[in-house]
Amino acid sequence: MTQEVIDFYHFDSLWRIMKGEEKRGKLRADYYSSEVIGISENLKSLRSQLRSSPKEERDSLQQDIQDLKDEMDEKKKEELKRKAFDISRGKAKLKIKSLTIKGHGAFASNNLDTVLVSQIVKLELKRCYRLYPANRDVIIEQIKGLLNNGMSKIVIRADICSFFESIPQQGLVSKLADDGFVSKKTVKYLKGLFYAYNDKAENKEEMGLPRVQYKEKECALCDTLLLLKFVI
């Protein structure tokens, strides 16, 4: 029996996702237009003035700050609405940047489209495949309980060598398409994420999932790629 496909690309769904990402601070300042960035810089300047201004001038400055905040919020809403429309039509422009972390190559989202599409793909994968990885803290407490029960035991620590790098991209995409759980648009965008990664990493073999940056602002891409390993 085919599972019902949830349309995460409907405008209302996209709008909730975008507002949620903004509220959690996952949208970098440079993801917005130069106009929004300019307003943000003016806000910083006014806040700096407020800290050193005489008491009698603070009410006026606070009102100016609030007016600028309201103006910036409205500009952001306009831009987010346009972006939601483009993504819902399959016109997102996906970009990934390369990084070096502790001597190893890594990758992260490099524009607003990629952050939002990654979040949409993640949500659809979780819903369609019921992927809810166990809480790490809960797992640690369970292990502690097992180790403290007084019984003799042997603990073996193991890992799969080059696990992420060995995953066949085409095989993963084909499985998602054949299962029919996620939307065709999600499969298309996942192909786009792989294409952006392969181009940046010069990965001609089209093998593996990119190692990603775990910083807060790029965690949407990170979470999406981590979920993919459970689909295989």
User: What is the per-residue pLDDT for 216?
Assistant: 41
| 63 pLDDT more than 90 | yes
The rounded mean pLDDT for the chain is 82
Q: pLDDT tens for residues 16-51? A: 887 787 788 777 778 888 999 999 899 999 999 998
Average pLDDT of the residues in 54-73:
91
| 232 pLDDT more than 80 | no
Asked whether 92 and 116 are in contact (CB, 8 A), the reply is yes
Write out the DSSP string of 11-61: HHHHHHHHHHHHHTT-S-GGGS-HHHHHHHHHHHHHHHHHHHS-HHHHHHH
- Residue 122 tokens read as 């993640």
Q: pLDDT tens for residues 95-105? A: 888 877 677 67
Q: What percent of the chain has pLDDT over 70?
A: 86
3-state percent helix, strand, coil for the chain, nearest multiple of 5: 60, 5, 30
pLDDT category at 130 given cuts 50, 70, 90 is confident
Show the CA angle centred on residue 223, arms to residues 218 and 227, nearest 5°: 155
- Cα–Cα separations (whole angstroms), residue 217 to 31, 34, 112, 118, 123: 11, 20, 11, 12, 17
Q: pLDDT tens for residues 102-126? A: 776 777 888 888 888 988 888 888 8
- Cα–Cα separations (whole angstroms), residue 30 to 36, 38, 80, 96, 110: 9, 11, 14, 15, 10
Q: How many CB atoms lie within 10 A of CB 170?
A: 11
Asked whether 75 and 35 are in contact (CB, 8 A), the reply is yes
pLDDT category at 142 given cuts 50, 70, 90 is confident
pLDDT category at 1 given cuts 50, 70, 90 is very low
User: What is the per-residue pLDDT for 187?
Assistant: 92
Q: pLDDT tens for residues 169-198? A: 899 899 999 999 888 999 999 999 889 888
User: What is the per-residue pLDDT for 225?
Assistant: 62
What dihedral do alpha carbons 70, 76, 78, 81 form, nearest 10°?
-130
| 66 pLDDT more than 90 | yes
Q: What percent of the chain has pLDDT over 90?
A: 18
Euclidean distance between CA atoms 132 and 174, whole angstroms: 22
- Cα–Cα separations (whole angstroms), residue 210 to 106, 158, 160: 7, 21, 16
- Domain layout of the chain by residue ranges: 11-129+161-228
Euclidean distance between CA atoms 127 and 181, whole angstroms: 9
User: What is the per-residue pLDDT for 217?
Assistant: 46
Asked whether 222 and 212 are in contact (CB, 8 A), the reply is yes
